[in-house]
Amino acid sequence: MKKKIVLTRRWPEDVEKSLAEVYDCEFNQCDKQFCQQQFKAALQSADALLTTVTDKLEPETLAIKNRRVGIIANFGVGYTHIDVGAAKQNGIVITNTPDVLSDCTADIAMTLLLMVARRAGEGERELREGRWSGWRPTHLIGSKVSGKALGIVGFGRIGQAMARRAHGGFGMEVKVFNRSRVSDAALASCNAVQVDSIDELMQQSDYISLHCPGGDENRHLINADHIGAMKESAFLINTARGEVVDDDALISALSANRIAGAGLDVFNNEPALDQRYLKFENVVLLPHLGSATKETRDGMGYRVASNLKQYFAGEQPADRVV
């Protein structure tokens, strides 16, 4: 008999077809976010649960009686939406999909940086609304990117991919804050320097790009004090997780013109965007597009499939995190 798997959201068509050839698949045809009762039903009826970043799995749900699921194969790198302690306690394996989304997420981070620096969002809105009166020397003056200082918080795969783009493509001076010591080779690959504190990074950088994990450990890692240490001419870019930034602190700084702007691809309580951000012309907002290319989303799905194959063969999944 085929193993039964439940997918909590619609996945790329080619990936769903590939999974259906091997497994008894239950697809989420309406593509609506699961509630806890749906998670519980899936945990009791399937052999594997295939989740995404939108799926918050509570301890009570993971501890349900008569659980059949032995593996939660996550579509994405981050897995803080799954209660890791409860998964461990209940003997549930968790896998993720590293590597395949690093480049495209770094591309979006650089897109945000360029857009907010060069006021591209403002310019497009002006054109679409018929407000452009023609070229003039003082029109939409932005900030230079080439040669400026980029501070990166979190120097894993995505942070390093961002650093390579910034240094190799724009000659930026790269500074890094990471909780552990970064290898000399990783720093040398983009001529980066590691600093000892977030405040030091903020004080020295013209652009700050966040690439650290989310979850409770890093909730509001970027707080009022850290934002207060930024230059008035600096920009904050977040493609990590929404909870990493204290919205009240960032919005307060933007309101008081204490920083130059921000570019955000992730938000607290997605998709419930804090409406206060909408009033700022100097904030670029994207709907969590970091990994949104066909190549990457397909790659993420096939990475999940590989982890499932290994698990059901009695092997250790390559991307096991719990």
Catalytic residues: 241, 270, 288
Q: Half-sphere exposure of 55 toward its Cβ, with a 13 Å CA cutoff?
A: 31
Distance CA 116, CA 285 (A): 10
Whether the link from the prior residue into 59 is cis, omega within 30° of 0, is: no
DSSP 215: S
Give bridge partners of residue 175 from the DSSP assignment: 151, 193
Q: Strands 71-74, 48-51: parallel, antiparallel or unpaired by DSSP?
A: parallel
**11: closest CA among 52, 48, 67?**
52
DSSP calls for 114-168: HHHHTTHHHHHHHHHTT------TTTT-----TT-EEEEE--SHHHHHHHHIIII
**119: closest CA among 276, 281, 285?**
281
Instruction: Give buried/exposed letters for 250-278 (b at 16+ CB in 10 A, else e).
Output: bbebbeeeebbbbbbbbbbeeeebeeebe
Kindly give the interhelix angle for 102-117 and 294-312, rounded to the nearest 10 degrees.
Answer: 150
